[in-house]
């Protein structure tokens, strides 16, 4: 009887521990939103889909904020996904201040720089899609952002604590043009990026 109580206590403790590690938020997957997984054969998301999806998961996750940082030549909004731990999100202005102080280094002693570096976070910019016809770069951003807001394994949680990730599609107009051109063919195995109407 005593062993049985210990076993039940162990199970309850394990469930409690796991529930505290894994996010309680349900994050919409790319397949649920787009109808296909990123990387599936014959499927490309366009920038409109990326923007709609990022807007949705930013509302679902406390790890992500979506910020408009500009407008393209064709009038599309350029979004930056800011992904980090909820605690880091609450201190973003402080981390921006630290990054600026370290970057400019004006009137900063070595000791002050070390102290600021210890307080700060690594700022990592990941973009993709600069060349619209090189489709992988833009597509991987969708999967990267999803994985970072959805996964709760120890390594991902460590990255979220140590890093502020900035994810940006660097050519929304190109992504829209190429993906729409590719997906215009209803028969999947006939899809191609050949003969794009313009660059």
Which contiguous run of DSSP H or E holds residue 43?
none
> For every residue of 57-91, which 3-state class applies, written as one string?
HHHHCCCEEEEEEEECCCCCEEEEEEECCHHHHCC
Dump pLDDT digits (tens) for 111-162: 999 999 999 999 999 999 999 999 999 999 999 999 999 999 999 999 999 9
Q: Measured at the alpha carbon of residue 98, what is the angle toward residues 95 and 104, in degrees to the nearest 5? A: 140
Nearest-angstrom CA–CA distance, 83 and 60: 13
CA 190 – CA 144 distance, rounded (Å): 28
- Of the chain, the percentage scoring pLDDT greater than 90 comes to 84
Residue 19 pLDDT > 90, yes or no?
no
Convert the pLDDT of each residue in 26-46 to its tens digit. Answer: 999 999 999 999 999 999 999
Q: Structurally, what CATH architecture does the domain formed by 25-84+121-190 represent?
A: 3-Layer(aba) Sandwich (3.40)
pLDDT, average across residues 66-78: 98
pLDDT at 8: 44
Query: What pLDDT does 197 receive?
Result: 87
**d(Cα 37, Cα 43) in Å, to the nearest integer?**
8
3-state secondary structure of 165: strand
Hey, what are 135's tokens? 């489709």
Residue 18 has pLDDT above 60, yes or no: no
Question: Could you tell me the two tokens for 96?
Answer: 């921006």
pTM for this structure?
0.84
Listed by start position, the domains of the chain span 25-84+121-190
How many whole angstroms separate alpha carbon 38 and alpha carbon 46? 12
């Amino acid at each position: 009887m005593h062993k049985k109580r210990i076993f039940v206590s162990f199970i309850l403790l394990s469930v409690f521990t796991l529930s505290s590690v894994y996010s309680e938020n349900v994050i919409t997957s790319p397949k649920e939103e787009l109808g296909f997984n990123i990387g599936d054969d014959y499927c490309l998301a366009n920038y409109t889909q990326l923007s709609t999806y990022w807007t949705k998961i930013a509302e679902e996750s406390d790890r992500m904020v979506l910020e408009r940082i500009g407008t393209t030549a064709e009038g599309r909004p350029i979004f930056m996904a800011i992904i980090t731990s909820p605690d880091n999100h609450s201190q973003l202005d402080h981390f921006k201040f630290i990054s600026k102080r370290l970057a400019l280094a004006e009137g900063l002693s070595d000791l002050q720089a070390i102290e600021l570096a210890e307080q700060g976070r690594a700022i990592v910019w990941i973009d993709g899609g600069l060349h619209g016809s090189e489709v992988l770069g833009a597509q991987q951003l969708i999967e990267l952002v999803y994985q970072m807001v959805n996964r709760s394994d120890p390594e991902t949680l460590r990255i979220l604590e140590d890093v502020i990730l900035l994810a940006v599609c660097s050519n929304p107009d190109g992504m829209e043009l190429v993906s729409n051109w590719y997906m215009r063919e209803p028969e999947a195995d006939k899809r191609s990026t050949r003969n794009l109407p313009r660059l």
